Amino acid sequence: MEPRRIAGRRAVVEVRNHIEDRWCDAESGRTRENRNPGDLADIVSRSADSTAADALAAVTAAQAALPAWRALGPVRRGEIVMRTARLVAERRQEFAETITREHGKLLREALGEVDRTVALLEYTAGEGRRLGGATLPADDPRTMALTRREPIGVVGLVTPWNFPLAIPAWKVAPALVAGCSVVFKPSPLTPLTAALLVECFVAAGAVSGVLNLVHGGAEVGEALVKIPAVAGISFTGSVEVGRAIHTAGAPRFLRTQLEMGGKNAALVLADADLDAAADAIVAGAFGQAGQRCSATSRVVVDRAVHGELVRRLAERAAALRVGDGMEADSQLGPVVSAERLRACLDGVRQAVAEGAVAVTGGERVNEGVPDGYFMAPTVLDGVRPDSYIAQEEIFGPVLSVIECDGLDDGLRIVNSVRYGMAAAVFTRDPAFAFTALDRIDAGMLHVNRPGVGAYPHMPHIGAKESQYGPAECSPQVWDFYTEWRTACISY
Ligand code: NAD
């Protein structure tokens, strides 16, 4: 049975778990209420608030489904993922509106996420035909040596709220194509988008028990880490939770793939086209209200052009129209929760106490918007590279500007954080650009363009504390969901 819908234009949806082939309530009967962060009067869903018991039931179902699923082979499993891509594309508008209501991002950003998800699913489905190993030379005569990939077994997928469709899709799809069975635990802030995605996979042919959905908070994720039948956890979220998962799983050699936070810099050199740089930086910093792991949150700018760049950034940021993501003329939506808003405001307050100046923004927006978690687009100037706001991810529409003295000093500051997710460089000189690419310690680099993301067939990868384990969204992803076998055959 599908998640039960309650009639009404802005329906409150009862979102249930999906275990084996049933949509069911949490064993405890508890639910959580989710409201639209851009309009708190809008109750989006009531979702199952599960416990370790639900996690265990889901893992048991996933284990039982494994042998038949493995036997199906990657080509047929890929076909199911391809059908899922079509179903998601058919429900494009419904997905986008749900994402906007649950997360707050602009409807056009949500549509972009749906389109990207379809591309990711199509790419991953096709990879099923390439999921092979190698034939190798043998030392002995009349002998063939070969390598093969085998699925690792039951995997737990633990996801955040900021890409509530794309991130689950880029985990579930390769897990299923590889032949793993899945227990998927989405963020408690975005349960409905997760349920719609599972509906599509099930309608496309993901058979009973191969894709289980358990809603809830940390308790469910912690349980998945502890259940011995779970062979691997693919997690996206904060460094702190990633570390907790890795540490808790280490005694039993749990395989982990951890995609974590960022404190991403845009390095602007003295020869850069400042208008183009400002446009790109504003897009990278304030898109999705700054709530992307690759969002630009630091600008490291050469002293020679510092004043000119700050003026351009402040003008552009101040001109952004803050509003409900559903409104066509909104340019900056709310942040996702009261907790996130508080983190942004506290971060700004601390930065100002340490000597930074808010050249625009810095406060909550209450006027001209619905009751929601709206933060003004904020540009902080005079930020010290070692201050909290320059070192820690606060995940909101707040951009810190730090001065540097040329390329070497700029690269030193860019690399002076524990994260290494993404970075952008702005210069007209190819030698500067390639030097920066050689020396910036970050996974995803951009030159003269917004410093966010990459394409579906490229590794989604960070350096330092931003990432652990094989990358997602590329052929490297199979190194998480499969393990190698060798065979030597004499004839
Ligand atoms: P979070 O770490 O708070 O939670 C992520 C998920 O982990 C949620 O499903 C949550 O319920 C679960 N969880 C919480 N505590 C747990 C525990 N002890 N054990 C197991 N699971 C637990 O992150 P969030 O607030 O949902 O998302 C924002 C974070 O995600 C940011 O740090 C952002 O940079 C990061 N992120 C990273 C990427 C990437 O690809 N690297 C992409 C998007 C978001």
The string of pLDDT tens digits covering residues 229-240 is: 999 999 999 999
Q: Please give the share of the chain, as a percent, with pLDDT higher than 70.
A: 98
Cβ(395) to ligand 1 under 6 A?
A: yes
Residues 273-289 have pLDDT tens digits of 999 999 999 999 999 99
Residues 287-337 have pLDDT tens digits of 999 999 999 999 999 999 999 999 999 999 999 999 999 999 999 999 999
Q: What is the pLDDT of residue 2?
A: 53
Whether residue 453 has pLDDT greater than 70? yes
Residues 9 and 392: their CA atoms lie apart, in Å, by 41
Cβ(444) to ligand 1 under 6 A?
A: no
- Token couple for 228: 């011995």
| Residue partners of 86: CB distance under 8 A and separation at least 6 | 204
C-alpha of residue 238 to centroid of ligand 1, in Å:
5
| Active-site position among 180, 200, 293, 344 | 293
Give the atom of ligand 1 at the shortest distance from the alpha carbon of 340.
25
Residue nearest to atom 39 of ligand 1 (CA): 259
Cβ(219) to ligand 1 under 6 A?
A: no
Query: What b-and-e string marks burial along 60-94, b requiring 16 or more CB atoms within 10 Å of the CB?
Result: bbbbebbeebbebebeebbbbbbbbbebbbebeee
Cβ(245) to ligand 1 under 6 A?
A: yes
Give the atom of ligand 1 at the shortest distance from the alpha carbon of 189.
26
Residues 14 and 1: their CA atoms lie apart, in Å, by 12
Give the atom of ligand 1 at the shortest distance from the alpha carbon of 261.
34
Residue 222: active-site member: no
Residues 349-368 have pLDDT tens digits of 999 999 999 999 999 999 99
The more confident residue out of 1 and 175 is 175
Residues 157-173 have pLDDT tens digits of 999 999 999 999 999 99
- Token couple for 146: 């070969």
Average pLDDT, the chain: 96
Residues 61-100 have pLDDT tens digits of 999 999 999 999 999 999 999 999 999 999 999 999 999 9
C-alpha of residue 184 to centroid of ligand 1, in Å:
13
Which domains does the chain carry? 13-260+466-490 (3.40.605.10), 264-455 (3.40.309.10)
Q: How confident is the model at residue 8 (pLDDT cuts 50, 70, 90)?
A: very low
The identity of residue 355, as a single letter, is G
**Residue 308 is inside which H or E element, if any?**
helix 306-318
| Residue partners of 411: CB distance under 8 A and separation at least 6 | 267, 435, 436, 439, 440
Cβ(159) to ligand 1 under 6 A?
A: yes
CA 160 to chain centre: 6
Whether residue 6 has pLDDT greater than 50? no
Residue nearest to atom 9 of ligand 1 (CA): 187
Q: What is the pLDDT of residue 454?
A: 82
Average pLDDT over residues 144-163: 98
Give the atom of ligand 1 at the shortest distance from the alpha carbon of 217.
11
Q: What share of the chain is helix, strand, coil (3-state, %, to 5)?
A: 40, 25, 35
Residue nearest to atom 21 of ligand 1 (CA): 221
DSSP state of 253: T
Average pLDDT over residues 175-179: 98
Residues 394 and 62: their CA atoms lie apart, in Å, by 36
Residue nearest to atom 43 of ligand 1 (CA): 293
Cβ(267) to ligand 1 under 6 A?
A: no
Q: What is the pLDDT of residue 7?
A: 42
Cβ(461) to ligand 1 under 6 A?
A: no
Cβ(290) to ligand 1 under 6 A?
A: no
Going by C-alpha positions, the residue among 95, 122, 125, 91 that lies closest to residue 107 is 95
C-alpha of residue 159 to centroid of ligand 1, in Å:
6
C-alpha of residue 466 to centroid of ligand 1, in Å:
12
Q: How confident is the model at residue 456 (pLDDT cuts 50, 70, 90)?
A: confident
Tell me the Cα Rg of the chain.
23
Rounded to two decimals, the pTM is: 0.97
Ligand 1 pocket test, candidate residues 293, 344, 464, most atoms within 8 A of CB: 293
Residues 381 and 308: their CA atoms lie apart, in Å, by 12
Contacts within 8 Å (CB) and 24+ apart, 93-101: 94/196, 95/165, 95/193, 95/196, 97/326, 98/44, 98/192, 98/193, 98/196, 99/164, 99/165, 99/190, 99/193, 100/38, 100/325, 100/326, 100/333, 101/36, 101/38, 101/42, 101/44, 101/326
| Active-site position among 259, 392, 465, 472 | 259
C-alpha of residue 236 to centroid of ligand 1, in Å:
5
Q: How many CB atoms lie within 10 A of CB 240?
A: 9
Give the atom of ligand 1 at the shortest distance from the alpha carbon of 259.
41
Ligand 1 pocket test, candidate residues 241, 288, 394, 458, most atoms within 8 A of CB: 241
C-alpha of residue 391 to centroid of ligand 1, in Å:
19
Residue 259: active-site member: yes
